[in-house]
Structure 1
Amino acid sequence: MWTKTVPVTALIAAISLTSGTAHAEPQTPVGGEALGSRGLVSPQGVKKPPKTKATSYVIADVNTGQVLAAKDAHGRYLPASTLKALTALTLIPKLDKNRKIRPSHNACNQEGTAVGLTPKGTYKVDDLFKGLMMSSGNDAAMALAETNGGLAKTMREMNAEAKRLQANDTVAKTPSGLDKPGQSSSAYDLALFARAGLANPDFTRYISTKTANFPAPGGHYQISNHNKLLWRYPGMVGVKNGWTSKAQGSFVGAATRGGHTIVVSIMRHEGYFWEEVAKLLDWGFSVRGKVTPVGQLVDPLPAGLPAPQQQVSAPATRVTPAPQPPLLDTAASKQTDYTRTVGSVVIGGGLLFGLIWLGYGIRRRRRSRF
């Protein structure tokens, strides 16, 4: 059994997906009836999950797909760099990891966090994926998109991959996760991305690598994974964290203990979330296999298969998913964070802000921290 803080009129129902019409809404939220609630849904008979400042989160068992607890699971928010998990999922199967490329000036000059690509350098695709998932390089994201045949093609394929995974809350507008009007994802979708990625050995290798040598003209430098829990949390596998000043903090991560893996995804956290995520993971491990799940991480659709038709013979009680917050488009259009990372050097947004007002003429640019 599960409890809820917002009324839900039925227990978990069979998944009823959209009809073939382009703008039809599902009768039941993907993953089950309870996941349409904007409030906390958690199982009975055990203590509730630890408190978190995240607006939305999901705790799930990767092995079984069971959602153990959730809050506003389908609420749509700016994903920031957690969207890079979808970029990697989409492009890893398409690109030869041993292929060598020379990035364009456009890729090297991307705003926000960078791994430090230069047009004079030559990089393997494998290096670019490390830069993408370890250092959250927006330059690496664009270089991969251009290697895949261009930005437009890559965005089409990323959105198609999201639909295949049944991540229907996700609209990708950038390969890096930099805020852009219309872009969105949800804690539920981030958990789907993590589960799909953990089934791919290369994806798992990139997200779990703590440090690596990254090519540079005439040598190399060391890059580090931005996921702090890789050093702090026993069994941490990794995945992706993100932050912009308008999206605020987002994270999706998985850890393994005793042969079982728990995933936690959070969105729109106002501050430092690492300790809270660790406690949510601990809670997930403590209740796994002992409680009735509140929902399910659905399996991907078979390749080439259209979304299933709505089940009209047994309609489910409608629960309206959380509406897209008005902040999505306005936040994306006003993104003004300044932090930039090159290699292992971070320039703080506050310092740059001060320099601007001191008249040093630093040009304002949109930034993402992670």
Structure 2
Amino acid sequence: MGMKFVSAVSALALAGGLTLVGPAPARSASDDTAPVGGALLGRRGVVVDPAAKALPKTEASAFVVADADTGEVLAAKDAHGRFLPASTLKILTAVTLIPKLDKAKIIKPSAEACNVEGSAVGLTQHRIYRVHDLLRALMMVSGNDAAVALAEANGGLARTLADMNAEARRLQALDTVAKTPNGLDKPGQSSSAYDLALIARAGLANADFREYVGTKVANFPAPGGKHYEMANHNRLLGRYPGMIGVKNGWTTKALGSFVGAAKRGGHTIIVSIMRHEGSFWEEVKQLLDWGFASRGHVAAVGSLVQPVPEARPTKPVGGPPGAPPVARAATPAPAASGQNSPLLGTGALVAAAGLLGGGLWIAYGVRRRSRRRGRPLPPSP
């Protein structure tokens, strides 16, 4: 899709075909890089192909509608605007910790975990909780206490936050900074509608993640061998056709945020919204409907990029008898279709040579340029 996407966007831009509502963010003279996912996603207003059916109205300060299968962003508003994420940050917590923690591990939460403010599943200091139970509570009922307990199981808050921020960078969610594992407001914490869609897409590729965000009702352990029932906070589960999950959030400073994914006819649409002052459920339904009706029929305005590729180890090759082997850089894996076009400003391979112990070694690395400039968080309401 790479060059095809660039050509389509260029043609539309030259013809004035893309609807751009609102001013473009200011750029410095030295800022020659495009935002992650494409230059149009740096706009603060709405970006959409005018050939598409009219977008539903939403009171959200930012949103993204994307095709999860192709990665195409079908429409967006202030996609890279940085806002407080509230509990939608728990999507990153889950994506980070699911591969790291044994689901069957039994843990005893600390007093600190049990007494976290805000939404909670009601942990007590008993060794009765499996990681599996806590991940359910994290994504179903937005347990702030479960988030801290999971962080403790991962080696503590400091380590978990480092892991979360490293995972955000790996996914190229560069607007996202985690200061808590549960999304409770903290200075410096941020995400964007683009990043939330990107992180949710990564989560949906994991079967355990899909189970946690898609479970409507489940039992949760209580002391004395008892249990109680918890129900998913996502009001669209079971009410919107094909709804998969994912997560909602709200604080008085962040206001409402939500990431939802639904599947119909073998295709999945993701909608993310941030900073909504009221009830957003009906608006999300309409945005999902628009996404299903528009996918495959409109020009994309950007794309959800692939994670940063892992560097492959060097492969030794033969040399003169008795000489040290020469290391040859492994060929990087090709990018998935549509994820690394020239518009995305992805890095270039850099080669360097040096003499080590009389032998010639060649190494390579990937240089990634900063794809966005941060904007300050909006003032608290």
**Shared topology, TM-score over 0.5?**
yes
Larger mean Cα displacement after TM superposition, 127-136 or 26-35: 26-35
Equivalence for 2:153:
147
Which residue type is aligned with residue 207 of structure 2?
P
Shift of the alpha carbon at 1:304?
A: 5.5
Partner residue of 1:66 out of 69, 72, 75:
72
Stretches of structure 1 lacking an aligned partner (at least 5 in a row): 10-23, 313-317, 335-370
Q: What does 1:279-294 correspond to in 2, within 5 Å? A: 279-294=286-301
Equivalence for 2:175:
169
1:278 aligns with 2:294: no
1:142-189 per-position Cα deviation (integer Å, ceiling 9, x unaligned): 000000000000000000000000000000000000000000000000
The aligned length equals: 310
- Distance of 2:129 and 2:68 partners within structure 1: 33
Partner residue of 2:91 out of 85, 88, 91:
85
- Distance of 1:25 and 1:106 partners within structure 2: 44
Q: CA RMSD in A?
A: 2.4
Stretches of structure 2 lacking an aligned partner (at least 5 in a row): 1-11, 13-17, 313-344, 351-369
Asked if the contact 1:57/1:264 (under 8 Å) is kept, the reply is yes
Equivalence for 1:4:
20
Partner residue of 1:268 out of 275, 286, 291:
275
Equivalence for 1:365:
none
Which residue type is aligned with residue 231 of structure 1?
G
- Distance of 1:159 and 1:243 partners within structure 2: 21
Shift of the alpha carbon at 1:199?
A: 0.2
Which residue type is aligned with residue 40 of structure 2?
A
| 4+ runs deviating over 6 angstroms | none
1:323 aligns with 2:375: yes
Equivalence for 1:252:
259
- Distance of 1:38 and 1:268 partners within structure 2: 14
- Distance of 1:252 and 1:123 partners within structure 2: 27
Asked if the contact 1:74/1:321 (under 8 Å) is kept, the reply is no
Larger-gyration structure (1/2): 2
Partner residue of 2:205 out of 199, 202, 207:
199
Identical columns (%): 65
What secondary structure, in the 3-state scheme, does the structure 2 residue paired with 1:232 have? coil
Shift of the alpha carbon at 1:120?
A: 2.5
Which residue type is aligned with residue 323 of structure 1?
R
What secondary structure, in the 3-state scheme, does the structure 2 residue paired with 1:230 have? coil
Asked if the contact 1:215/1:221 (under 8 Å) is kept, the reply is yes
1:295-318 per-position Cα deviation (integer Å, ceiling 9, x unaligned): 00001112468x963799xxxxx9
- Distance of 1:205 and 1:171 partners within structure 2: 26
- Distance of 1:325 and 1:131 partners within structure 2: 29
- Distance of 1:25 and 1:208 partners within structure 2: 41
- Distance of 2:167 and 2:44 partners within structure 1: 26
Equivalence for 1:356:
none
- The TM-score with structure 2 as length reference comes to 0.77
Q: What does 1:206-355 correspond to in 2, within 5 Å? A: 206-218=212-224, 219-303=226-310, 309=347, 323-327=375-379, 331=380
Which residue type is aligned with residue 59 of structure 2?
K
Asked if the contact 2:214/2:246 (under 8 Å) is kept, the reply is yes
Asked if the contact 1:50/1:276 (under 8 Å) is kept, the reply is yes
Asked if the contact 1:37/1:322 (under 8 Å) is kept, the reply is no
Asked if the contact 1:114/1:138 (under 8 Å) is kept, the reply is yes
1:124 aligns with 2:130: yes
Asked if the contact 1:121/1:217 (under 8 Å) is kept, the reply is no
Shift of the alpha carbon at 1:49?
A: 1.2
Q: Kindly tell me: are residues 192 and 271 of structure 1, through their superposed partners in 2, closer, same or farther at Cα, counting changes over 3 Å?
A: same
Which residue type is aligned with residue 133 of structure 1?
M
- The TM-score with structure 1 as length reference comes to 0.80
Asked if the contact 2:36/2:372 (under 8 Å) is kept, the reply is no
1:109 aligns with 2:115: yes
Asked if the contact 2:106/2:128 (under 8 Å) is kept, the reply is yes
Asked if the contact 2:53/2:294 (under 8 Å) is kept, the reply is no
- Distance of 2:58 and 2:378 partners within structure 1: 22
Asked if the contact 2:24/2:44 (under 8 Å) is kept, the reply is no
Which residue type is aligned with residue 20 of structure 2?
K
Equivalence for 1:44:
50
1:257-314 per-position Cα deviation (integer Å, ceiling 9, x unaligned): 0000000000000010000000000000000001110000001112468x963799xx
- Distance of 1:110 and 1:102 partners within structure 2: 15
What secondary structure, in the 3-state scheme, does the structure 2 residue paired with 1:152 have? helix
Asked if the contact 1:28/1:319 (under 8 Å) is kept, the reply is yes
Q: Kindly tell me: are residues 125 and 196 of structure 1, through their superposed partners in 2, closer, same or farther at Cα, counting changes over 3 Å?
A: same
Q: Kindly tell me: are residues 131 and 294 of structure 1, through their superposed partners in 2, closer, same or farther at Cα, counting changes over 3 Å?
A: same
Which residue type is aligned with residue 140 of structure 1?
A
